[in-house]
Each structure stands twice: as structure tokens, then as C-alpha cells.
Structure 1
């Protein structure tokens, strides 16, 4: 039921402006590829493993192949034509064998033409289609498990982070969290992994403030959560991070190992990791196509804006980003039910009416995106180390989540952003959530803000400011708005940032069967 009486014409204008603002960036993304997109495509085609003999450390075979193709003949036509042409030319049985021969200096890659190009294209399409069939089977398996084990009996889903650095220890924490009531387990990544232009191989035990995202770590955690799901009688979902320089590859690995949610924001890497804007927009489009195919819920990162900008003054930038994320997601094939748009409880609690403003902002998001499983993020910026005040603040955060019908509630902890929380902190945080959700029950059914009251007026104000900002972005361009520090006060010009050298403009005749099959839904 609508509580804010939003003007339908204003809402429609906001969405139309967001589509206009996003269109030049979508056109740009369609016209380019990146080294990460090409590596993700070859991963779908079956390449696995790493060169363990390299003096600088393990180098994934997919990096070895794509880097060599680029050196020999460029990536303007994509990686699959040179790779599958070389596979046939050298009579090799697999892409991994091709990678080994490449490392030994035995392969010279060329872009085939004519009949040779047709043969290479057919072989690549067959291999990629096989990878996508694995993704499809995993999606069907998830549906079967949810039907058999059931979903949580109530919303919002309780989302808890584990972050030890050691995948085996993460498994212990994750399973105990599920037993204590967590519905979604997020394995936070090792510090700095988003800036690695490769995906590590194998199980890892040495992360920093998090655990490396690898295919084997995904497999280990998914298997563990499948077991604990049977024990607790509900399907426990697994989350990781499809962001950074390897965004498309990690999305593919998530699909191949049946992850359920992925952090995947259109601008987070640009703003908070200084990754080149064009690289990010190209990579996010491909990664979202993969997520759509895999049935993976994405979580966007608008909450981060409010840790660097003022949560009252910048509230409208969150709404603008949500509208842009919605447009980018829809264009990539993600439906509303997979669109976990982010927002956060980050207003200074010492401000008068801070709780009423948080309610207004949360209700605005809920009513603008009624079919999206919104991800509601806890306070971090104003956690001071006073654990009693922090615990109370988290209780207020949980109450807003219950009152406004959020879909995914990330568990806040009283030591958040101060120290790495202990297991006891997580247990207390889960108890806080359980108490509030149980005590509030269906309180949202009874909550009706006054039609001309503070909450409604504040929501209308933020929406109006969002429309004004979208009009400016349409006039000046989204890349210009990002360069000027519009979001999170971070200024990121389009020709700078990490990974810019990995962006390639597509040539006529570019071939990528993954993009073709994903867009065609085949």
C-alpha cells in the first residue's frame, strides 16, 4: 500500500530521465570490450587452472591466453576466434592445453577469416553454450532446493557477513550464523582483491580482513551451506562480490558454483576503488547479463555514498543512483525481483528528527521500487565505540527495516567500523534483529505517516531533488557528473583510473558467443 502519495508523473519523469542519462553509457559499453570480459567468456568456454611454475606466483591460464592474444593480434575481434582457431590449428584437446602451449611459446595467435573464422566461431559457441548450461542447471537446482527446504518464513531476510581470511574458518562461522538465524551469508573479500586483475586459484587461507573470492572457495562454502540448509530447514543463501577489475569473471564463477547474491554496483568501483569508469560500465553490463541468466540477486552500493557524503544533504544522490542502477539492470536483462537496490541508515543520530528522516528515505525507496528486494544497510559512520549506544542505534535501524518492508537486512553490530567484530558481537547482533522483527511483527500494516506530515514531505523533497539532479546529468552527461564528484564526493574522470588499459573498442566482426547467447536468452 502506498503511504507517501508520490506523484505518478514525477516518478515517471524520474525514470525517463534516468533512462536518458544511462543511454550514452550503455551505448559506450556495447561498443567496447575489456580483458575481463574476454577472460570471463573463456572461463564459460571451459578454461580452468593456473600456471604454478611462474616465478612471480601463480598466473591463471585464462590471463596467460588473453594477454598473449592481445599481444599477438589484439582483442578488437574478441578472444574466442584466435583461441579456438589456434586450438584447431595445433590439434589441442582443450583450452587448458592451449594455455600450457601458450606459456611454452609454442602458439602464435592470429585472427582467422573466411571459413576458418566460421569454424572457430562455431566451436567457441558450442563451448560457451556448455558453460551456460551449467549455469542453467545450477539455477534449476536452487529452485528445487528452495521448493524442498523452503525460504525464511518472514522478510526481511537476515544477512550476515563472515570475514576471517581462511575459507575453512569462514565455513565454521557461516554455519553457526545460519543456525543462529542468518538467512544470507556474505563472505567478504580480502582487502584489495578488487584491484587484482586476475582471480586467484584454489582454496585460500591467508586473506586480509576477508577471504579471497575464488571458484574453489565458492564451491566449498556453497557445499557447506547446502548441508546446514538441510539442518535448519530453510535454504541459506550465499553472497560474494562481483566488483573490481575481475567483475565479469567473478560473476561467471558465481553462476558456475550456484551463488545466490552478488554485490554488483554500477559505480562503486569507480568511486571507491578508482577503477576506470568506462572499464567499470563495460564490465558491469556483461556481469549483470550473467547474473540475470543465473538468477542471482544483485546488491547495489548506494549505502557507500553516505559514508563519505552527508546522509541528509546527499539523500537524493542515493535515489538517483538507485534509478540509474535500475535502468542499467533492466537493460542487461535483470528483472525487478533480482534487483537488490542498496540504501542505508547513516544520518547523524544527534540530529533532531533523524529517525523520522531515516523512515522517510527508507519508505521512498520501498515505494519507488515496490518489486525489488531492497538491501537495507546498518549504521557505520556514526558508530563511536560506545557499544551500548551502538546496540541501541542498530535496534532503531532494525525497526526501520521492519516498518518499511525492506527485503534484505544486513545485520548491524555495535562494534561496526571500530574493530573487526567478535563472534560474540555477531551473536548479540542477531539477537537484536530477532527481537525487533519478532516484537514488531507486521507493524508495517499499522504504520501510516500523516499525509501532510514530516515523513511524507521529506520523501517528496528528496524525490524532487533527485529529479533536478537527473535533469542536470542528462544535460551534462553521467561521466561528467561522476568526474565532478556528484556521488559520494568522489571525483573520477573518464580517462583515468585503474584498468583503463584493459578497455578495447570493438572492431567490425567482433565475436563473443557469451554476449550473443546471453542477450538472446539461449
Structure 2
């Protein structure tokens, strides 16, 4: 995608370098914090890689039972795998599933092995976890093979369309129909509230509120259906879901195992908009992004959400700061530029003079700062009034900005936003809007050149300057992790989220010196055995 990006804003290269340097400086203490902690979800994800799945008759996953039992007896400071695989070697159970079942009834004793026993347990754990990583590697290779066989969409941006009935068996035919109508990416919106569940539901689900539950079986069913449609259409259809919330590492793992292609995965969304503890979020996010890097999954970040709670003009620089931080955290975890679906949105009040010109400036700034990233461009939502004709026009202007600035992923806007859950006919009209604009104006990236020192260039440089000022304030903030202080002060999205509060804090554990996790070790090594 970088070949389509031209230096249209005359940004000062020194300013761009300074912005990235400050983002690294702000992010580095948070990475160190993540490296020194683990969470219950990281440990559960590790057991899932080792092959543990399923749930009891009340649909509580066995990984939850096993992690809770180990934590209750010996803690998680040393990691889950050492006591678990030591118990298997001592004959407490013949396999992980039976061990979890016995642990749920309190009939297993765990210990922290030492010496040769610890070495043997670590060897067994690495062997079993490596099976999961090899399964993820195999799914990545399958994706590559199917893309070669069926082909990628020829045009950019890719058209991203949402399906969310609550019933996976209703989602599937709607997703297939959307692909036939032109969608390149199908996003299955997650059921409201799932991000606050500290477990992953099990099996295929048929009830969800404003979305469908993210489960391994739902992932498998939808991926298989879209594979059929990819073959039918002669282009590979990508599947998206959400790796966020209290089970971010586990959902990322299941996505890798079932060959999802994109995952919504933002470094601060859960903190700001779901009041999840900041430390829990950053620890879970790092592990989940290591999995995404391994699986070849593109992440989509959530900067567009800031503009639903803060003014899109006044807070434009906070979007840029978040994009720079998301880039740093992602690359530190192993993701490459082509996997960075950094988010931004068309959310300026259309009543403001020059609103369209400012939208162009903001979209171009993101495109210029991240020339190799497939940016995710989000449609207007905040200022949709219920007037469907006005809304259809706004979506057309949004699509035009996407075409003019070379965005990578374009989410289809709905004229009935904020009125009703879209009907299938609404989706058809919205896709017609996208197709018309991209067919008529898709080549404008070649022709569009804002005047030197004109309104658009001046506005973009101003936003970048404000972003540098904010990053400077964050890095100058006293404290062990000044970014956490900035989040606590309400810098992003006007949400104040202190590091010692929030949901999931009780699931955060400080690592002991002897902490061992074969999953993180192999992910950082790039090995699979």
C-alpha cells in the first residue's frame, strides 16, 4: 500500500521522528510493566495453546477451573504450567482435561516443583504448548495458500461490513450475502457485555444482544462458511472479531487457531470505555498482540471511539497520539506495518465551516504518518440525526475522503445509524454508495494535491504539533509509568481511569523471578518447539 502514498503534506521529517521518539519514551515503561506481570487470562490462554478446551455443565470453561485451583493453592507468580505439568507427571491425572475436572472438585494437590522435577515439568509444558503454536502456524500457511488460490480484492480500500444478529446461524447466510454484494471483510460484532466476562463462552451460540458471542466454535463455523464463499467468488473473504476485554489473550489465541484474519485490538479501548484496569489491559494486550503477530492477523485499533466522547476537532491530536502509541506497542510485540489497521474516523460536526476540508487534513495526516499501514477509516456516527437522506450524503462524503486519501480498510456507513439496527436493504444501499464512489473517484489519490501551506497542510501540521506537545507532557510527567498517569487524568476520550482501579485488577499477578511461561518464551524467540 505504500506505493500509493505520496508526501502531500510537506510534514517536517524532524517532527515525525520526534513524535515517534516520544511515543517510544511514553510506551517503554508500560511495556516493562507488562513484562513484569501476568494475568489469569494470559495463563488460561497458555493452557488453551496446550490443548485444554471445553466447559462444565454450567458452561464454565475448564481453563478457568484449573487456573483458579492452581492460584488458590500455590499462586500464579511462577506461571501456570509448572504446577500443572508437575501434577501430570506425578500421576494426579492422565491428561489436562481430566486434571481440570478433578481440580474443579478439589481432588488434586498442586505444588511448585524444584530441581529435576521443575525441569521435567517445563520440558513437558513446552512440548504441549508448541503444538498449539504449530497449529496457529499451519492456519497462517493455509490463509496464504487460499489467498494465492482465490486472489485478493483488487481495489483498495477493502470494504468492511458488519454482521451481528446474535445468532451465529443467522449471521452466516447474512455474511455470505454481504460478501456476494461486494464486502471484502466480514466483521462479526461481539455481544454487548462480553468484554466484561472473565471467561470465554463455549460452543455455538444463538442468543446475543446487539452482537454474537465470540467463541471458538462460532469462529470455526463462520470461517468455514466464508471459505466456501471465497471459492465461489474467486477472492479471499476476511473475517474479523474482537480481541479485547478481560479475555483478550484467550480470544486472540482462539482466533489464531481458527484462522481469523483481523481482530479489533486497541491498547486503551478497554481501559477508557469498559473501565477495565489499565495494568490488566496492557499485560493482556501485549500477549494478544504477540499471538496476532504469530498468526499473521491484522489488528484494528479504536481511536475512532475517542471522537464519540470528545470533540473531533479539539481532540484530533489525541487520535494521533493514540495511533503512535498503538504503533509502538504493536511493533514491540512483533507486529509488522502491514498488520497495523490503525483507526480514525469521520466525526467532525458537519455544521462546522470547512468540516470536509478538516476531515481531509486529518485523514491525510494519518496516511502520511503511517504510509505502510492499512488504516481503518470509520464512518460518521456521532452526528447522524435520523435524517436518512442527510446520513446517506454524509456517508458519501466519508467514502470520498477514503478514496482521496488512500485508506486501507473502509467500514461501510449506514444511513440508519442511531435509528434502527440496519435492515438488509439499508446495507444494500450503503454498499451501492461505496461502490459508486470508489468506481467514480478511486483514482483521485493520483490527482489530489493540496496547495502548499494551504488550509489542509496547515491544519495537518497543527494537529501533529499538538500531538507532539501532548506526548511531551506525558513523557515529562513524573512517575513510574507517566502514560498511566495521563490515562488517569482523562487525557484520552475524557475518561479518567486510575491504574489502581477498574475491572479485572484482581486477576493481575506480579511475576516471581522464577516465572516460566513457554508460550511467551517461544513467541519472543519465534520458535515452535
Structure-1 residue corresponding to 2:62: 61
Residue pairs, 1:303-322, within 5 angstroms = 303-322=304-323
Q: State the SS of the aligned residue for 2:467.
A: helix
Q: Is the 8 A contact 2:375 2:408 kept in 1?
A: yes
Q: Is the 8 A contact 2:85 2:122 kept in 1?
A: yes
Q: Residues of 1 paired with 2:393 and 2:76: CA distance?
A: 54
Structure-2 residue corresponding to 1:489: 494
Q: Residues of 2 paired with 1:258 and 1:94: CA distance?
A: 26
Q: State the SS of the aligned residue for 1:51.
A: coil
Residue segments in structure 2 that go unaligned for 5+ positions in a row: 1-5
TM-score normalized by the length of structure 2: 0.97
Q: Residues of 1 paired with 2:43 and 2:409: CA distance?
A: 33
* 1:39 aligns with one of 39, 44, 49: 44
Q: Residues of 2 paired with 1:305 and 1:467: CA distance?
A: 18
Structure-2 residue corresponding to 1:403: 404
Cα shift at 1:85: 0.8
Cα shift at 1:452: 1.4
Q: Residues of 1 paired with 2:94 and 2:444: CA distance?
A: 62
Structure-2 residue corresponding to 1:246: 247
Cα shift at 1:109: 1.3
Structure-2 residue corresponding to 1:7: 12
Q: Residues of 2 paired with 1:10 and 1:280: CA distance?
A: 30
Structure-2 residue corresponding to 1:29: 34
Structure-1 residue corresponding to 2:290: 289
Structure-2 residue corresponding to 1:156: 157
Post-superposition CA distance 1:474-512 (Å, at most 9, x none): 011100110111000000000000000000000011000
Q: Residues of 2 paired with 1:428 and 1:98: CA distance?
A: 54
Structure-1 residue corresponding to 2:380: 379
Q: Residues of 2 paired with 1:305 and 1:241: CA distance?
A: 18
Cα shift at 1:91: 5.2
Q: Residues of 2 paired with 1:373 and 1:384: CA distance?
A: 30
Q: Residues of 2 paired with 1:443 and 1:7: CA distance?
A: 24
Q: Is the 8 A contact 2:271 2:278 kept in 1?
A: yes
Q: C-alpha root-mean-square deviation of aligned residues, in Å?
A: 0.6
Structure-1 residue corresponding to 2:140: 139
Structure-2 residue corresponding to 1:506: 511
Cα shift at 1:441: 2.8
Q: Residues of 1 paired with 2:147 and 2:503: CA distance?
A: 40
Q: Residues of 1 paired with 2:442 and 2:100: CA distance?
A: 57
TM-score normalized by the length of structure 1: 0.99
Structure-2 residue corresponding to 1:18: 23
Cα shift at 1:103: 1.8
Structure-2 residue corresponding to 1:516: 521
Post-superposition CA distance 1:443-479 (Å, at most 9, x none): 1100000011100000000000000000001011100
Structure-1 residue corresponding to 2:56: 51
Cα shift at 1:92: 2.7
Q: Is the 8 A contact 2:158 2:185 kept in 1?
A: yes
Q: Residues of 1 paired with 2:352 and 2:429: CA distance?
A: 27
Structure-2 residue corresponding to 1:273: 274
Q: Residues of 1 paired with 2:423 and 2:360: CA distance?
A: 30
Cα shift at 1:418: 2.5
Residue pairs, 1:116-515, within 5 angstroms = 116-476=117-477, 477-515=482-520
Residue pairs, 1:54-93, within 5 angstroms = 57-90=58-91, 92-93=93-94
Cα shift at 1:298: 0.2
Residue segments in structure 1 that go unaligned for 5+ positions in a row: none
Q: Is the 8 A contact 2:381 2:418 kept in 1?
A: yes
Q: Residues of 2 paired with 1:103 and 1:44: CA distance?
A: 20
Cα shift at 1:93: 2.8
Structure-1 residue corresponding to 2:3: none
Q: Residues of 2 paired with 1:22 and 1:103: CA distance?
A: 39
Post-superposition CA distance 1:427-452 (Å, at most 9, x none): 11111101100011311100000011
